[in-house]
Chain A
Amino acid sequence: QVQLVQSGAEVKKPGASVKVSCKASGYNYTNLVIHWVRQAPGQRLEWMGWINLGNDKTKYSEKFQDRVSVTRETSATTAHLVLNSLRSEDTGVYYCAKDLLVGTTTLDFWGQGTLVTVSS
């Protein structure tokens, strides 16, 4: 059974960067693609990008590609999302998730979510 455990809540000032981590267990990492999805208060879910833990390939939504970076640890079981130049609109819950169908955004297992608050 796949488990995705995320790092804890963060409070950041505008202009800063935030790093959110997602540790995977119970799955062969060579076939594991981790996606990042966020939800601002009162808004719809928003896909940000993914990383293939097996080969380190990444893909980002055009909306975020200038400010976002998704990396993996050398153990290849943890993915990190870094979002730069934070603004108040980036406040929300950030989720990592695994795709059911490799290469698609059909997401079958999700982390518990990480609240990021951007406030001066």
Chain B
Amino acid sequence: DIEMTQSPSSLSASVGDRVTVTCRASQPISIYLNWYQHKLGEAPKLLIYSASRPQSGVPSRFSGSGSGTEFTLTISSLQTEDVATYYCQQSYRDPGTFGQGTKVEIK
């Protein structure tokens, strides 16, 4: 299976800060990388697919970049409603493996 590793595991930032989460794949996956937002008690929500394509309805402050083995999710201006755990997932090869998650909190 392709192993996905995220960093950091958690972060605390102030409202309005720029936040960056990194995801690394154990082998090249082209741009087959998705990002999900998972709030406590809710279902995961697709934010970004194909590394950089925003899902319909996702606020423009969320963006993704990268290809191959290194990917980044950026929140340009952190809002209180962005408190959640963020997961990357590769869809290059089954099983579609997920990273361990990055918990984002407000300082």
Contacts and interface: CB of A to CB of B under 8 A. Distances in A.
Interface residues of B, number: 22
Contacts of B91: 101, 104-106
Interface in A1-26: none
Contacts of B95: 47, 61-63, 105
B71 interface: no
Place the interface of chain A in its size category. 20 to 34
Contacts of A100: 46, 49, 55
A15 B89 CA distance: 31
Main secondary structure, interface of A, reads loop
Interface in B55-107: 55, 87, 89, 91, 94-101
Contacts of B49: 100-101, 106, 108
B88 to A, nearest CB: 10
A6 B42 CA distance: 13
A45 B98 contact: yes
Contact of A108 (B38, B55, B98): B55
A4 to B, nearest CB: 9
Contact of A45 (B44, B46, B55, B94): B44
Contacts of B94: 47, 59, 61, 105
The 4 closest A-B CB pairs, nearest first, are A105-B96, A110-B43, A61-B95, A45-B98
Interface of B: 32, 34, 36, 38, 43-46, 49-50, 55, 87, 89, 91, 94-101
Interface of A: 37, 44-47, 59, 61-63, 95, 97, 100-101, 104-108, 110-113
